[in-house]
């Protein structure tokens, strides 16, 4: 476990050199900040679980910058996955594929599959290019906490526990990638995310949401444990009238409360996209203000609302 002050840098080459030395580097992506290690260095990958306090049976996503890197990560690429890559790579989509035997068990939690994504964030791409190796990376936060959309949030959670934070702007989406298993007869969304189900079905109409298939859910991060939770209790409401105004309480949603000034923190969003973008940052702001309760308005389970409600329901569990 690192104990020295975490290095802050904007130099992708300085950060990549640390990856090649087996260290951990947090880096920006379009979804949230990731915590990266060389995917083919088992000792480095184990440091991720130690730094985050992450359960060892929770698999990681491997980040690539070139499609030819897939040859070292997967045994084959099914036709549905190829179609998704053509449409959504680079972007906020993770594909679960048959694992290549060279991928360490530490990355896959011993599963026969591996999740792969190609971020579109320019700093992430430059960083991955400089690393020269696929990078395994979950979100760069302590396990169970809200995912970080700013480097400052990474620093608050992991300073002294990782070698470096590659500084970038605030993540421009605010929710993690969609995870789709492409190893079966039809693609299965294991985790709703920044790419909506409707967009996936435009490419492969047979795509479906995972049901109660526990063995499938285990192939995706963010599906088996309490996640995305602030210190305050999260209470889901249909309308702000259900929220109890109090300086120790907070509210976030699409409909403004009658007396927003009565809450310690209040975030009224014009649409679901903004709600998703603001959610994790708002959670962390509420923690900084020592809020005891956060009222979050429900949204329909369609489009990006499906992923937003997944995060809200897990935070409120």
Binding residues for L-threonine: 31, 117, 137, 177
User: Closest by alpha carbon to 94, among 2, 192, 13, 11?
Assistant: 192
* Residue list, annotated binding site: 31, 54, 58, 63, 113, 117, 137, 139, 147, 177, 191, 228
- Backbone φ and ψ of 206, nearest 5°: -75, -5
Cα separations in angstroms, 188 against 182, 207, 208, 212, 296: 7, 6, 5, 12, 28
User: Closest by alpha carbon to 38, among 8, 74, 63, 1?
Assistant: 63
CA 262, CA 259: separation in Å to the nearest integer?
6
In contact, 234 and 308? CB cutoff 8 Å:
no
The H helix count followed by the E strand count for the chain is: 10, 15
Sign of CA dihedral 308, 50, 102, 163: positive
Query: E strands along 240-291, which residues?
Result: 249-253, 265-268
* Residue list, annotated binding site for ATP: 54, 58, 63, 113, 139, 147, 191, 228
């Amino acid at each position: 476990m690192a104990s020295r002050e975490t290095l802050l840098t904007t130099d992708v080459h300085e950060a990549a050199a640390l990856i090649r030395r087996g260290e951990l580097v947090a880096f920006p992506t379009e979804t949230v900040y990731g915590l990266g290690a060389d995917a083919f260095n088992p000792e480095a990958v184990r440091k991720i679980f130690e730094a985050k306090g992450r359960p060892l049976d929770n698999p990681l996503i491997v980040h690539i910058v070139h499609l030819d890197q897939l040859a070292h990560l997967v045994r084959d690429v099914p036709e549905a996955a190829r179609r998704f890559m053509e449409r959504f790579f680079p972007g906020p989509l993770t594909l679960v594929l048959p694992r290549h035997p060279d991928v360490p068990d530490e990355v896959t939690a011993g599963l026969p599959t591996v999740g792969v994504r190609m971020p579109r964030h320019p700093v992430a791409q430059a960083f991955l290019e400089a690393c020269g190796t696929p990078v395994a990376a979950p979100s760069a936060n302590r396990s169970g906490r809200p995912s970080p959309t700013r480097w400052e949030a990474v620093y608050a959670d992991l300073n002294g526990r990782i070698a470096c934070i590659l500084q970038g702007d605030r993540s421009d989406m605010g929710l993690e990638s969609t995870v789709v298993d492409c190893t079966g007869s039809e693609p299965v969304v294991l985790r709703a995310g920044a790419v909506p189900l409707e967009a996936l079905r435009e490419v492969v109409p047979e795509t479906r949401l995972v049901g109660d298939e526990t063995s499938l859910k285990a192939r995706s991060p963010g599906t088996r444990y309490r996640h995305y939770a602030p210190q305050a209790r999260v209470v889901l409401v249909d309308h702000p009238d259900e929220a109890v105004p109090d300086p120790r309480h907070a509210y976030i949603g699409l409909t403004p409360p009658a007396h927003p000034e009565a809450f310690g923190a209040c975030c009224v969003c014009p649409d679901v996209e903004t709600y998703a973008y603001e959610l994790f940052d708002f959670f962390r702001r509420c923690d900084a203000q020592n809020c005891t309760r956060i009222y979050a308005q429900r949204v329909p389970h369609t489009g990006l609302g499906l992923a937003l409600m997944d995060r809200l329901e897990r935070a409120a569990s």
